[in-house]
Amino acid sequence: MADLSIQPTPELARAAPRHVAIIMDGNGRWAKERGLPRAIGHRMGVEAVRRTVRAAIELNIEYLTIYSFSSENWSRPEGEINDLMALMKRFIRRDLGELHASGVRIRVIGERNGVDRELLDLIADAENVTARNTTLQLVIAFNYGARDEIARAARELAECVAAGELQPDEITAAAIGNRLDTCGIPDPDLLIRTSGEIRLSNFLLWQCAYTEFVFLDEYWPDFGRNQLAQAIALFRSRDRRFGGLTHRDSA
């Protein structure tokens, strides 16, 4: 297991985006190119998660959101789904102690309905045990889909209007944001997707309105500190205007 106890350094603090989100793609293709079962690719993907958490701490990233299991992944073969569920359980059981000791707070976003009770109990335990940690917030998007997240928020607001608790003109972007799974978490500054694919795949659609995207050719099992640092370097080279002008533009 990777050592997660490394502490962030002040000189890196200015260099890092505050929140990095990652679409971890390519486990199956990584395995196929090596003549291995897809399950091996997923297991190696978990090793990449461990490396990336360690690198995020080194680089002083405050929030790391990883796309672990999408609501669309239920369409995959039953055997693969079972492997993915088992990996999530194993990750929590094996890594929770060390993550907690390293100051990592775990937060899981996504729909809880349809997830088996054993895994739900493990998720609740991980969130409770690490709730006061502040070194890094590891946000795991599990059984998550952005359209469903937005629909759930809209439904909650509609119910408030129907109950007379809210006026229609009080439905603002902030009101919707406060009812998303990511309430209290800043929007991602940087989103990374591995494996050469160039799409969001129903991930953080609301939150990524002004996020910088970096698409890498490497498959997720090959991802680590070097690739994260490369993506951050690209992020730092960009001019973020959020719809306005920079001093250079207005000069």
* pLDDT one-digit tens code per residue, 76-99: 999 999 999 999 999 999 999 999
Q: How far, in Å, CA of 72 to CA of 80, rounded?
A: 13
- In the chain, what percentage of residues exceed pLDDT 90? 86
Which has more pLDDT, 6 or 235? 235
pLDDT of residue 34: 98
- The arithmetic mean of pLDDT across residues 7-18, rounded, is 54
What confidence category does residue 242 fall into, taking pLDDT thresholds of 50, 70 and 90?
low
Q: In which band, very low, low, confident or very high, does the pLDDT at 240 lie, cut at 50, 70 and 90?
A: confident
Average pLDDT score, the chain: 91
CA distance 224 to 9: 18
Which residues are catalytic, by number? 25, 73
At 49, list the tokens.
């998660």
Question: pTM of the prediction?
Answer: 0.89
| R_g of the chain, CA atoms, integer Å | 19
The encoded tokens of residue 231 equal: 């993506």
pLDDT 10s digits, 48-72:
999 999 999 999 999 999 999 999 9
pLDDT tens sequence across 131-156: 999 999 999 999 999 999 999 999 99
Residue 113 vs residue 65, higher pLDDT = 65
Q: Over the range 198-227, which residues count as b (16 or more CB within 10 Å of their CB) and which as e?
A: eebebbbebbbeebbbbbbebbbbbbbeeb
pLDDT in tens, 172-192: 999 999 999 999 999 999 999
Say what the pLDDT of residue 5 is.
38
Residue 215 has pLDDT above 50, yes or no: yes
Phi/psi at 144 (nearest 5 deg)?
A: -115, 140
Closest CA to 83 of 96, 104, 68, 97: 68
